[in-house]
Every structure is written in C-alpha cells, then in structure tokens.
Amino acid sequence: MGINRSESTGRGVVRRATAATAAVGLAGLTACSGGGADDGERRTLTVFAAASLQKTFEEIERRFEEDNPDIDVVFSFDGSQNLVDQLQAGAPADVLATADLRTMERAEEAGAVRAPQTFATNTLTLIVPEGNPAGVTGLDDSLDDAKLVVCAPEVPCGAATQKILDATGTEISPVSEESKVSDVRGKVEAGQADAGIVYRTDANAAKGVEAIDIDGADEAVNEYPIAVTADAGEDGRRFSDAEMWIRAVLSDWGREILADAGFGATGGADGTR
C-alpha cells in the first residue's frame, strides 16, 4: 500500500445537501458556500472527511474559497468506515480524508482512491461533564459505575481504544458504541453520559467538558491520510480542484489550523516521510 506521509499538524456535520447526494441517500452531506459568484457559475468540490476533521476543514474551507471563488466546497462528515462504504457504493466525491490508515487502505485496495498522503495525527483522551459528577479518574475502575460511551470497534477511534485496552489489560463496559466520534462527544456534552473516549482534538472543541488523560494513549496514535478519489481522477478539472484542496490542507497555513486544533504532525511537507 503506498501511503505517503506529509508534515501537518484538526479540529473539525452538515449543512446543505446537494441533489446528487440526495439521490444516493447520503445523510450528512453539507454544502459550505462562500461568498462571491452565483452558485450556477461555481464548480462543486465534494470532500468526504472523518467527523473529527469537521471544524478544521470548515476553517480551511473559508480560506480556500476566498482564494478560489469559483469553487464551492461541499462536505460529508461521517465515520471513516461509512465514507468508504459510500464511495464503494458509487457516491460522488472528489477527496477522501479518513481518521486512520487502515480505513484508507481499504479504500485504496478497492480502487476508490489514488496515492494517499498522511497529513496529521491524533490521540485519545477521556472527557467528562464539567465538575466530573461521576468521579472518573482515568481508564480504571472509576468507570465501573459510570455511563461510558465509546466508538464502535470498526470506527478508527474505536480501533484505537481497543488497542489501548489490549496494551494496558483494561476492561470496560460501555453503555453505547457510536459510529462516529462526534456522537460520543455529543452525548457527554449533553450530559447523557458520564464519560466518553474521544480524540484530543474533540476534547479541545467540546463545550462544557473536562479532559482526563488516558495512560497508554501514545501507544495508539492515529494517522490521518487524504487522497483524490479514483472517480475525480478520471476528470481533469475535478482532479485539479481536488489536488488544490489537498495542497491547501498540506500548506503552512493549513497545518497551522490543524495544529491549533490539537492535531500532531507527520513526516515532511513534501508528502514523504
């Protein structure tokens, strides 16, 4: 598998559904329009991205559309595995960004993407409601009587959670397993859970929560790859626009946005380790 690594450093649901996406029933596809030319004169760039990238990619979008007023960036934020499933089912997209290498490898093996590059890293942490009413102290027996929510094992954040549990010999009994990390965060923010395991970037972006470090979190670092889809690669204009988006993510200012959100860097700026 040939995923390259590039230096970067994200924070990240859904705004305006397009007719094309509605036709394939994609929940969560959102259009993110900037000002400028009439919509009918603008090209659409569709970006499928892991839910944990939402705030950062929306921030990158604002700068990108200022620099490219003829392009309207449209996002679908979801669990990485769901996005790959949608691509394989024929959903239209130009760029795919996932929250781990394993999921991108599945897309590459299916011929759905071309030449992925790694642009960021992320680690896990616990979050609890402000005041920590359940008295959670970490990934330990303080969770025995707490309502814990986690990502499902097939989701990148769930796979990383399982890796930490295996490494530390810890057992947990979550009350629910979510299909994307933003749903875990949302349940803790809403007070529906006493604790949740999320990415550090989600903890930074969350409201009304406190973060508690997880021992062994550095043993499960997720690398985030990005790639042009094979479908976009068949069209010169779409390929060019997709490449411009990826260059924006890998740019100095794109990496600065990612770093401010708490994402870590990988490799070199030229796209190789």
Q: Residue 35: what pLDDT?
A: 38
User: Beta strand 148-151 with 195-199: parallel, antiparallel or unpaired?
Assistant: parallel
**Along the chain (273 residues), what's the average pLDDT of each consecutive run of 10 residues?**
41 31 34 41 94 97 97 97 95 97 96 96 97 96 96 94 93 95 96 97 95 92 97 93 98 97 73 34
CB-count exposure of residue 207 (10 Å: 0-12, 13-18, 19+)? exposed
Q: Residue 171: what pLDDT?
A: 93
Q: Residue 271: what pLDDT?
A: 40
Q: Residue 3: what pLDDT?
A: 52
Tokens representing 6 are: 């590039």
Give, in degrees to the nearest 5, the angle at Cα 127 between 218 and 169: 45
Maximum distance among all Cα pairs of the chain, rounded to whole angstroms = 58
Q: Residue 32: what pLDDT?
A: 37
Q: Residue 73: what pLDDT?
A: 98
Q: Residue 41: what pLDDT?
A: 77
State the Cα–Cα distance between residues 79 and 48, nearest whole angstrom.
10
Q: Are 130 and 236 in contact (CB under 8 A)?
A: no
Q: Residue 267: what pLDDT?
A: 54
pTM for the predicted model, two decimal places: 0.81
Q: Residue 40: what pLDDT?
A: 57
Q: Residue 219: what pLDDT?
A: 85
